[in-house]
Amino acid sequence: MKHMLTITKEDHIAFQLYEASTNPLKKKARKRSYYSLIIIGVCLMIISYLGQHTFLFYYALFCSLLSIFFGELYLRWRHKRHYVKHVENNFKDSDTEHATFEIDREVINIEDRTGESKLKIQEIRKIDETGNHYFIRIGPGPVLIIPKVSPELNTEMKDMISAYKIDTTSHLDWKWK
């Protein structure tokens, strides 16, 4: 069955945020940034304490406490802003992309404004499922973003996953954290 898909900037942002929250390297970089904020504040406190600069000491103490209690919230906001700008820069020309998606016996047919593509189902490396999307990983780089638009599409995806025994990760309650 053919499915008409509309892929928006929000879908691309959702993929970027999902990738950032599940990729171990990106999670490690966020933790490193969090600890760096705290370490910089503590270093400033030590330097100002040793230099007898009372105002600078209390200012550094205040900044360190802010980093400890709100640093992760700030970094989450900063990373989300980064990914939103990245998507907006790369998709300036169009807010939405329209595509036709059809699962056949051994291939997935995709037709969009650039042309028609056929993807062998056997070449799918992994499918990540969230509450609103399927992210189909083809290789180390390319990923197809499939919004969950209809129950029929969900049924076809589940049937394809079970028939071809495709490796899946299900995060139905995923949220950007």
The CATH number fitting domain 2-10+93-171, selected from 2.20.25.160, 3.40.50.2300, 2.30.29.30, 1.20.1600.10: 2.30.29.30
CA dist 119 and 109 (Å) reads: 7
CA dist 70 and 125 (Å) reads: 38
- Domain borders along the chain are 2-10+93-171
Which pTM was predicted?
0.87
The predicted-structure confidence for 24-51, as pLDDT tens digits, reads as follows 999 999 999 999 999 999 999 999 999 9
φ and ψ of 11, to 5 deg: -65, -40
Positions of E strands within 9-125: 96-103, 107-112, 115-120
